[in-house]
Amino acid sequence: MMGGDAAVRALVERFYDLMELEPEFERLRAVHGNTLESAREKLFLFLSGWLGGPPLYTDRYGHPMLRARHLPFAIGTIERDQWMACMKRAMQEVEVPAELRRHLEGAFFKTADWMRNQPG
């Protein structure tokens, strides 16, 4: 869907670069701990399979169990909205085609909203 590993990797790298550098994503960044290395790799592996490529995440870690794996982290509306804003910007900056971007935004929002485990 995205154009292969290089395109998925570029999206993930830009997403986490924005999270690391932009003050508007400060709350989201704080959820991730000291380093983003593991998060970068895991999102790339997950998106590879989720976007129609090889199931790299599942091959390495088993079923994603996204909600269960995110329960230890405080995720509320602010974190969800920052995650979405960061991903939307990353998709635009790496030039994901507009039609695919609109489709992915809807799918990403459903998932990001489902991750919320804090009120508000």
Say what the pLDDT of residue 119 is: 86
| DSSP string over 71-88 | TTS---HHHHHHHHHHHH
pLDDT digits (tens, 9 = 90+) for 29-54: 999 989 999 999 999 999 999 999 99
Is 24 in a helix, a strand, or coil?
helix
Cα-based distances in Å from 98 to 93, 102, 108:
11, 6, 15
Read off φ and ψ for residue 80, nearest 5 degrees: -60, -50
pLDDT-based confidence at residue 72 (cuts at 50, 70, 90):
very high
8 A C-beta contact, residue 108 and residue 82:
no
CA–CA separation, 78 vs 75, rounded Å? 8
CA–CA separation, 97 vs 56, rounded Å? 24
Q: Is the pTM of this model over 0.75?
A: yes
Tokens of 77: 């509306």
Say what the pLDDT of residue 115 is: 96
Read off φ and ψ for residue 35, nearest 5 degrees: -125, 150
Percent of the chain with pLDDT over 70: 100
Structural domains of the chain, with CATH: 5-115 (1.10.490.10)
User: Who wins on pLDDT, 2 or 19?
Assistant: 19
